[in-house]
């Protein structure tokens, strides 16, 4: 049995990780003329095969970065410096720009 014979539209739909790609699959299936449908489904089957083959690498990359620090953990708030450098003064009315 070839890879093409193992796929159904439902299996392709469930193999796709994002709702946008699942919606696109269904739109392609519903809007493609019958004569062109095998070629369209072959492209979707190839995409699903590629995704399934990449799944172990994706899982490994996610596991590797699971313990990484979040940039917010080391960010310093410089809002006061920016406001001071911009000439912010409490006695000025906010919203009064150059206009």
At 64 the pLDDT is: 80
Which positions ≥6 away from 11 have C-beta within 8 Å?
48
Domain boundaries, the chain: 1-67
At 99 the pLDDT is: 53
**∠ CA 66-48-4, rounded to 5°:** 150
At 63 the pLDDT is: 81
Question: Token pair for residue 57?
Answer: 């690498």
At 49 the pLDDT is: 94
At 92 the pLDDT is: 64
At 1 the pLDDT is: 40
Given the structure tokens 């399934």, which residue do they identify? 52
Judged against a pLDDT cut of 80, whether residue 68 lies above it is answered with: no
């Amino acid at each position: 049995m070839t890879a093409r014979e193992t796929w159904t539209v439902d299996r392709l739909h469930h193999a796709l990780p994002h709702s946008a790609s699942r919606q696109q699959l269904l739109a392609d299936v519903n809007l493609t003329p019958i004569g062109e449908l095998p070629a369209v489904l072959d492209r979707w089957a190839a995409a699903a095969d590629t995704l399934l083959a990449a799944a172990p690498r994706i899982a490994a990359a996610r596991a590797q970065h699971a313990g990484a620090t979040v940039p917010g953990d080391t960010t310093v708030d410089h809002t006061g410096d920016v406001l001071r450098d911009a000439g912010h003064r409490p006695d000025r009315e906010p919203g009064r720009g150059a206009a």
